[in-house]
Structure 1
Amino acid sequence: MLTLIGNEMKKLFSRKKTWVVVIGFILLLGILTFALYKEEQNLKKYSSPEFRIQSMQESINYNNKKKQELQDKRNSATSTDEDKKAIDRELTRIDTDIKNMEENIKGLKDNSGKNIAWKTELKQQIEAREKAINNEDGSNMPDEYKEREKININQMKYFVEHDIEPVQEYKLIGFNFINKVVEFLGMIFLAMGIAIFISDMVSGECTPPTMKFLITQPVSRGKVLLSKFIAAVVSSVLLIVAIELIYFLFVGLVFGFGSSNYPVMVGTRFQFDMATVNEQGIHPLKAIAGSTYMIPMWKFTLEILLMQILFIVACVSFIFLISTLFKSSMVSMGVGSIIMIILFVIINQLRPLGKIVPYLFTTYGNVVGVLKGDELALRFQNPALTASFSIPVMIIWAIVCYVISHFVFTKKDILI
């Protein structure tokens, strides 16, 4: 069996297509690295006090012009009493916005050049957010947002208590980078790459000379198929994870890795708030109190890589089935790619089909969002979309697809 697997892997790595896919994957991550670097530089610029002051001053100037236009309109002879009331409300809102921006500008100028301790700033944010939760600042925060805000506050308190300085998500460091890579690839790129990589694993050997050689060997069809499947899984996992880790080391050595003990909030679960109905007439989701917990960054990174491997296995198994059903490598590649695109379109665009989304393995490509717990559940308003639900779904897809492949391959007639 090991000999068969070794032979299949040799065949995989002797193909030009394999190295084209590998080079494409390397270039894709290179482009992503550069894009993340440029994003960090831009966000640093946009978050600087000077840029924020300039931006708010421009907004104040715009609001003053708009305010003058509204006042002229209010004083015109054509304005009714209802128009005047509406204009007065808008003028009050504009005055409030201008006042808030002027206060923010004053605060930024007062603190300009001062090195404010991050703990002090964080404590101020904690105090302000706690007031917002308790409606002490007049913000009237909706109940469905309060639990999520409490999660953010708990994370801030953890930073203060354990003397860990917060790091912006856009900062290009090793751990942030690997998380963004896994999240980015899970959109569709990973699935499409696998579809191209192994779509001809079985169909590409349906030529008479190849099949004649295979079936005349003292090895059962089942073992031949299993060796191909194992080779496909091992090769896909090794290539993808190895390239990701190489980039992780490169970014970490150049820009720093960040703290391996940095806290990450995960596991948030949701339930329908039966006491509330939103504008669409449905019950919104609210986070279950106490469901969110913290884990260190190293553990979170390990878990997303393990979840990504499971997703890779599910993708490989599905594309492997497509390759078994067709005798033409071009047809199997085309069908596999189209089906993957359709599945991702269903996930991202066709919200009315939300009921079937939890049962599609492609739903869980963004394993970062799955582990954190909020990304999928809130997007589809479905509390069933959790990490604990995703694991059996992907395992079942992998097993079922391979079993069907085995049945088809061992039972179909092969003409040589």
Structure 2
Amino acid sequence: MILVLISPRNAGLPFAEWLPEESGQLLAVTTQEVAAGPGFADVERVTDYTDDASVLAAARRMAERHTVTRVLALAEVDVERAARLRAELGLPGQLAASARAYRDKVVMKELAAAGGVAVPPFAAVASAADVAAFMAAHPGPVVVKPRGGSGSTSVAVLHDPSQITQVADRVTGGDYEVEGYVTGRMCHVDALHVQGEPVVCVPSVYTDGGCLSHWTDSGNGSWTLPASDPLYERLVGETWRLVGALPAAPALFVHAEFFVTDSGEVVLCEIAGRVGGTPIPAMLHAVLGLDPRHLWARIECGLPVDLDAVRAHAEAAPLVANFGLPPRDGRIVRLPSQAPDGARDFTVLAHLGEDWGGARYAGRKSGDFIATWLVTADDAEELLALVDKTSAQTEAGFGWEPSDRPADPEEATR
């Protein structure tokens, strides 16, 4: 039986539809608020899905009652949990050393550099003094971020040592890293590697601002590079070089991010051993011919997939761009009445009256969107013009008013 770890961010995915051979025999660990959906024979629920101990204990209880043959994890938070469970239960799939390298940004960069991949200067930090020492040795802006984080959560860009006090409390304990700030185009590459062989690799370029655009309330997305672009083959090559530098797994679906500097150097930002977050799956669906989470779920569960059909669809696909609008600091009082002209897969992810203010706004992630959509075209110029037009139309469709939420998260409990 297949044990599925269902993060709240993956609620609603049609696992029984994706894994029909196992429908009625699926097992799940999730939260009290998430409906596992049809096809599940048993469900264990935890109060706090961010608590590793609780999730692992629930999974172990499940394994005591059933014969688990595979563990499926789609969310970043579950990558290492799943690897640990596989080791304990003697199951195939990615194990701890590989999972750690795809999550821990310090281990990741150490291995990448040893494998010939360019990385920014970086260091593990456990105190404000560590950050200060790094900034003294590496003048210029730096980025401070969690070693195992995702979605640009808790990331800070420091331009001057006087700003270190902003991160002093959070870095204490050693779960953060600091690295030099790299300027240039930001790209991502989504790639599938099965049984030691590359299957498909999709290089894309982020729109201006990339995954930090939400800091300025700007929409963001990315668009697939044409194979004729000189950067295409370079990004493909660096991605496979990076996969080769990190500990192997029987199969990997990776989401890598690179900077391309003004001088043309390709520098690693980070890589994750999972499908990219919203709205990248929709874009990859258009490229690959099926939802990449569907594709990955079947591979991870040892079920048959027509990989030749995936390759063929990717080679024939038009250029695709995904785009999403982040929330504002306020309450939604108007929603778009229709999809913008030229958009496909237009999805409004918010509801009338939803309040994104206060602490919720302060804690927003790069993957938190109120609407997402795709556009397609035969050339990059037409594609990017469609992105601009549809973004303006969607933005105009939303209305906001000031929030009633407290700005200080502690005020909510006082």
Structure number with the bigger relative contact order (C-alpha 8 A, sep ≥ 6) is 1
- TM (normalized to structure 1)? 0.20
Larger radius of gyration: 1
Greater share of strand residues, 1 or 2? 2
- TM (normalized to structure 2)? 0.20
